Structure 1
Amino acid sequence: MQAITLTGKEKWAALGLAALGSTMFSAKAVFIKLAYQFDISSIDLMSLRMLMALPFYAGILWWTNRKKAPMVITRKDVWRIVLYGIMGYYIASYFDFWGLEYVSASMERLILFIYPTLVVILSAIFTKKKVTK
């Protein structure tokens, strides 16, 4: 894999986009809690989120494929993508939205951001292996 070299302007743009993404990701729980005041279910709210994100993902798909031939995807690949999308995104998002019906936005963010640390600690406890660098 070849390393990507960024100019000074590109580094600042990348840093800005990363900061914006982190901020928006953290603010998501606050917006969800505000939406729950209008008596909406987790499924309905998640569907609205996915519908609003669809044009952005379609635009990204178009932008990345505009100068080159599109990849050929087999029917088997399509089913795998759908299955992985359901398992990896839909179920995780559903539990995230559902959990926000019961806990505060700040608690949900705390749990989400310390999850990798919890996995390492529980893995060390149950596998009885020492945590290394």
Structure 2
Amino acid sequence: MKKQIILVSILIATTFMTGCSTVINGSKQRVMAHSNVPNMVSMKLYKNGFVVAEGKEEMAHYVLDRRSEYMIEVLDENGKKHLLLLDKEITGAAFLNLLNLLGWGIDFVSGSVYKFNGQNQYIIVK
């Protein structure tokens, strides 16, 4: 009887401990882009292939949806494009789900299972 109560308690606990990464990290991440491209004309942020932000500053702050793919394009006065694809990795908080498939599912759907590599992204011309 004790084993059954313990088993039921564990099942109930894992059911309610879902989406750990969603709770800890959220589905968005703040990223700052820096450029040292000389004579920069513009900086564009692409989300899944479409321009979602554009500016002329050498530094920009973005709040990015973790589910999407992003690329930053810097254009210099000669028309040369400098590109940076923002890489993602699985966040450590997602592993708090352990064997809870519902938690993993929630984290994948919300995108919070991923994080962009670093809060600062640099476009550096050597």
**What's the TM-score, normalizing by structure 2?**
0.23
Structure showing the higher strand proportion among its residues? 2
**What's the TM-score, normalizing by structure 1?**
0.22
Highest Rg: 1 or 2? 2
